Amino acid sequence: MLTAAYAMDPARYDRVYDRAARDRIERLATPLWGPRDEPAVRADPAALTDVDVLCTGWGAPVLSADLLDAAPRLRLVLYAAGSIRRIATDAFWDRGIPIVSAFHVNARPVAEFTVAQICYALKRGWQHVLAARTAGRALPRMRVPGAYGSTVGLLSLGAIGRMVAERLRVLDVTVLAHDPYVDPAVAADLGVTTVGLTELFERSDVLSVHTPLLPATRGLVGRDLLRAMPSGATLVNTSRGAVLDEPALVEVLTERPDLFAALDVTDPEPPVPGSPLFTLPNVVVTPHIAGSVDRECGRLGALVADELERYAAGEPLRWSVDRAAAARMA
What is the spatial distance between Cα 30 and Cα 5, in angstroms, rounded to a whole number? 8
Task: Let me know if 288 is a catalytic residue.
Answer: yes
- The string over 212-229, giving b where at least 16 C-beta atoms fall within 10 Å of a residue's C-beta and e elsewhere, is bbeeebeebbeeebbebb
Choosing from 12, 210, 240, 246, the catalytic residue is 240
What is the spatial distance between Cα 40 and Cα 8, in angstroms, rounded to a whole number? 10
Choosing from 38, 166, 251, 269, the catalytic residue is 269
Report which of 100, 85, 86, 207 is spatially closest to residue 156, judged by C-alpha positions.
207
Strand 2-7 and strand 53-56: the pairing is: parallel
Task: Let me know if 166 is a catalytic residue.
Answer: no
Q: Hey, is 67 helix, strand or coil?
A: helix
Choosing from 256, 288, 299, 310, the catalytic residue is 288
Amino acid identity for residue 192 in this structure: V
CB of 210 within 8 A of CB of 113? no
Q: What backbone phi and psi angles, to 5 degrees, belong to 253?
A: -65, -30
Burial of 257 (0-12, 13-18, 19+ CB in 10 A): exposed
Q: Catalytic positions, please? A: 240, 269, 288
